[in-house]
Chains A and B, each alone.
Chain A
Amino acid sequence: MTGKERDLDSAERAIGTLSRKGESKRARREREAWEYRLAALLRPIEPVAPPAGMFARISRHLAHVETQRTLRQTRASARRWRGISAIAGLAVVGLAAALVAPVLAPPTEGARYVAVVTAAETGETGMVVEFDTGTGIATVIPVGATVPEDKAFQMWRIPAGESVPVSLGILPDAPATRRNIDAEPGDTFAISVEQPGGSPSGQPTDARYFGQIVRID
């Protein structure tokens, strides 16, 4: 293909009469040059105020997108970390701290904490819980744990020095946030396996995962 033909392909990709899929880096730069060339066509278009609340909607969407990406990365990391001892578990705390920082959450005065919740029997990482005392929001990211069929995961907090767990509710099988959670360093998060509606007794039926809250910043 001659340089001229290639440049015309790039021009057609800029106006959209050829697909942009699979273009090389060089072709992309040439297409972008055409896009800049033609962008003047957009200048006379009148601005229109977008609806109020649009930025909040965009922020929520971005937080969701980033959570999904974090989840994929955390799962990939968890596969590498799985089965490693408690000392390695500390490394996971650092890793999780780097990965779960929410992108567009409002800045807060509070401190952030992470609990790496591991299986009592095997020591495998089951979930990462990130907790912000400023917003009172805990974000739960399932890592290796999968809910047994026809069961549900219920989340609990065991305050430091106490033995009676307080229910924080049923967890969906996806990254989830819980609001207005009161927790402190030294507290333990636990996850139990329950009937779909939650523990009938008000106490964990089959507690499988535990993790202590550690401050990260």
Chain B
Amino acid sequence: MTSENELDDLLLATARSDRAAFRLLYDRVSPKLFGIALKICRDRTVAEDVLQEVFTDVWRKARNFDPGRGEAGAWLAVIARNRSVDALRRQGRGVMGMATGTEAEIEATPDPTLSGDGGVEYLTLIDCLKRLDERQRDLILRAYYRGDSREDLARAFDTPVNTVKTWLRRGLTLLKKCLEE
């Protein structure tokens, strides 16, 4: 396992346009970031495009990374998640009609409550998610892993958009409260 300090150092060096560090960073984290892209996009070609966008962002925005605010691994994973969701939306809105809520799509949503290894922060987050009402939890996770909009969620749960908004925000409020305990 790559130590977090090493990733921090490589990312900070990348921020100084150090190409060798950028290459090393790629070697260390690209499998993880590709895994995220593949899990969310569920298409190898799309995931490869996403990975290219992610590392373009990393090269150009590395100077925005502040080790005082969080770990490099998390900073990188968030870029991969956001870029993946953007790609999914581009596709869904254009070609595939993503927001239909078929069973296959629902099954493809990762269920973090079933997964094992993820460290203390992960376990804490899961513990807090478990305390939420099931609907609140599902809404948050579908938005997070699949990029569902409020409208997508309203269709999938056969509920008015305003109700989705209320559930989402209640869930997020409880989640933050639980995490801060």
Contacts and interface: CB of A to CB of B under 8 A. Distances in A.
Given A16-B143, A40-B121, A58-B26, A50 B172 contact: no
Interface stretch (A7-15, A83-91, A119-127): A7-15
B80 to A, nearest CB: 8
Interface residues of B, number: 57
B153 interface: yes
Interface stretch (B4-12, B30-38, B92-100): B30-38
Contacts of B115: 44
Interface of B is mostly: helix
Chain A, interface residues (CB within 8 Å), range:
35 or more
Contacts of B85: 16
A45 B39 contact: yes
B150 A17 contact: yes
Nearest to B85: A16
A179 interface: no
A41 B144 contact: yes
Interface stretch (A29-37, A70-78, A154-162, A180-188): A29-37
18 contacts: A8-B169, A8-B173, A11-B172, A16-B85, A16-B143, A16-B148, A17-B143, A17-B149, A17-B150, A17-B165, A36-B70, A39-B77, A40-B124, A41-B122, A47-B32, A50-B30, A50-B34, A62-B59
Interface of A: 4, 7-8, 11-12, 15-17, 32-33, 35-51, 54-55, 57-58, 61-62, 65, 103-104, 107
